[in-house]
């Protein structure tokens, strides 16, 4: 019973951690994309 409980707790923690890291990665990618677009606009001005 105790082992099962801790196993579930650990799995949930891993699952939540994976979700968080994937969200952060997506945000970083999105930010990079925005920066890239800004850079393009700047180059057009020059």
What is the 8-class DSSP label of residue 46? -
The confidence score (pLDDT) of residue 5 equals: 95
The confidence score (pLDDT) of residue 1 equals: 75
Q: What is the mean pLDDT of the chain?
A: 92
The confidence band for 22, taking pLDDT boundaries of 50, 70 and 90, is very high
How many beta carbons lie within 10 A of that of residue 9, not counting itself? 10
pLDDT score of 44 more than 80 = yes
Alpha-carbon 13 to chain mean position: 16
Q: Dihedral of CA 6/11/16/17: which sign?
A: positive
Encoded tokens for 30:
């999105």
């Amino acid at each position: 019973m105790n082992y099962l409980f801790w196993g579930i707790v650990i799995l949930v923690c891993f699952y939540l951690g994976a979700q968080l890291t994937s969200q952060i990665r997506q945000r970083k990618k999105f930010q990079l994309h925005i920066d890239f677009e800004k850079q393009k606009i700047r180059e057009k001005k020059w």
